[in-house]
Amino acid sequence: MRVLITGGAGFIGSHMAEQLLARGDEVIVLDDLSTGSMSNIEHLVDRPGFMYRIGSALDSPLVVELVDRADCTVHLAAAVGVRLIVERPVHTIETNVKATEVVLDAAARKGRRTLIASTSEVYGKGTKMPFAEDDDLNLGATTRSRWAYACSKALDEWLALAYHAEKRVPVIIARLFNTVGPRQVGRYGMVLPNFARQALTGEPITVYGTGEQARCFGHVNDSVQALLHLLDSPDTVGQVFNVGSEREISIRGLAEMVKERAGSASEIVLVPYAEAYGAGFEDMPRRVPDVEKLARVTGFRYETTLEQIVDDVLEDQRTRRSGEAQ
Ligand code: UDP
């Protein structure tokens, strides 16, 4: 199989490229290197069956060409990260909505199977836990820029389901919950690489808000496995799936775990949301996936423990730091 990965030089995309090559598939990566980076795929460049193009998923003729050359597409290219969304809302909305439209339009020409990566953020401020795929979405006001991300991704889902219903495109939608692991960078606000870097440098570990907000963190290798199961399965087309781990931890608990496993002397400090993201920021207090549908249809469940995940991220940050020092 030859798989086109948009956003393939990004954090999740580069791991997916690696796993596809390891099982003997061919990979075409399309990435504009806005948040992805060549260093994520440099080790793959000379591997047989690997191709990459630096370009935008908004470039329709390019996307049509690459979708045609592949058997199926995994659409990961998007503006992600809460910090990016708050700082560059126009870019976020336009990239997320237009790129998905371009990819689906290209896929429709020859009916190519397409997996669209969505996000658990679409559940918004819902309080019924765990979140199941058919639950209502509960987004905040349009004056709170954070929800623009959720809304842009929800629109992507609607568009994908509409392409399936009206144009028979075999689409699959994956709502990714917090995915972490090696190669994720803290620059766009993601919590675990930030905590790991802070713990290793002895800087204060910055817990936003009260630290009582909680998340379920899954290892990127498990997320990629889940996405590949969804892509391979004959029974997933036209459907939405939660993709994530069920192990929940508060952000303060995560800070403590990182500090302890790093053997760090860093102080854990609470930073008000307004200071971290600007006035009026709204967080999600909890976000837990119902993963029964994923397990029922694909037989797959996340396996990596949170302790292993934290150790992997610490190791990755150590390697990065020693690379920077040379
Ligand atoms: N967070 C934090 N310190 C940081 C970065 C993030 O306490 O340096 C918090 C953030 O406010 C949120 C949680 O960690 O409550 C997860 O943030 P992330 O951006 O990784 O993912 P989200 O679940 O918000 O999409």
Catalytic residue among 52, 123, 149, 302: 149
* Predicted local distance difference test score (pLDDT) of residue 187: 81
* Predicted local distance difference test score (pLDDT) of residue 325: 64
Query: Which residues form the domain of 59?
Result: 2-181+219-246+287-303
Nearest ligand 1 atom to the CA of 180 is 20
Residue 193 has pLDDT above 80, yes or no: yes
Residue 151 has pLDDT above 80, yes or no: yes
Measured in Å, residue 80 CA sits from the centre of ligand 1 at 13
- More reliable by pLDDT, 233 or 189: 233
Nearest ligand 1 atom to the CA of 119 is 25
What gap in Å lies between CA 27 and CA 73, rounded to an integer?
10
Measured in Å, residue 278 CA sits from the centre of ligand 1 at 14
Q: CA 123 from chain center: how many Å? A: 15
**For ligand 1, atom 23, which residue shows the shortest CA distance?**
178
Measured in Å, residue 211 CA sits from the centre of ligand 1 at 9
Stated pTM of the model: 0.97
Question: Contact 17/30 with Cβ under 8 angstroms?
Answer: no
Measured in Å, residue 282 CA sits from the centre of ligand 1 at 11
Residue 326 has pLDDT above 80, yes or no: no
Strands 248-250 and 214-216, how do they pair? antiparallel
Domain count for the chain = 1
What is the CB < 6 Å shell around ligand 1? 82, 121, 178, 189-191, 194, 206-208, 213, 215, 251, 283
Which distant-in-sequence residues (6+ apart) come within 8 Å of 43 by Cβ?
A: none
In a domain, 296, yes or no: yes
In a domain, 275, yes or no: no
In a domain, 270, yes or no: no
Strand order through the sheet with 2-6: 50-54, 26-31, 2-6, 72-75, 113-119, 171-176, 239-243
* Predicted local distance difference test score (pLDDT) of residue 153: 95
In a domain, 319, yes or no: no
What gap in Å lies between CA 174 and CA 172, rounded to an integer?
7
In a domain, 299, yes or no: yes
> Peptide bond before 130: cis, by omega within 30 degrees of 0?
yes
Structure tokens at 89: 């809302």
Least confident of 16-25, 146-155, 304-313: 146-155
| Mean model confidence pLDDT for the chain | 95
Residue whose token pair is 């954070």 = 146
Q: What is the DSSP string of 178-214?
A: -EE-TT--GGG--HHHHHHHHHHHTPPEEEETTS--E
* Predicted local distance difference test score (pLDDT) of residue 277: 87
CATH number of the domain within which 17 lies? 3.40.50.720
In a domain, 253, yes or no: no
Mean pLDDT of 97-115: 97
Structure tokens at 111: 């009916």
**For ligand 1, atom 14, which residue shows the shortest CA distance?**
191
Q: Which of 121, 144, 208, 283 to mutate to test the pocket of ligand 1 (most atoms within 8 A of CB)?
A: 208
Query: Is 188 one of the annotated active-site residues of the chain?
Result: no
Q: Give the Å distances, CA to CA, from 170 to 78, 97, 162, 236, 322.
A: 20, 19, 11, 9, 45
In a domain, 202, yes or no: no
Reported confidence tier of residue 282, pLDDT bands at 50, 70, 90: confident
Least confident of 117-131, 136-150, 299-313: 136-150
Highest mean pLDDT among 65-79, 86-100, 268-282: 65-79
Strands 26-31 and 113-119, how do they pair? unpaired
* Predicted local distance difference test score (pLDDT) of residue 323: 76
In a domain, 292, yes or no: yes
Question: Contact 104/114 with Cβ under 8 angstroms?
Answer: yes
* Predicted local distance difference test score (pLDDT) of residue 163: 98
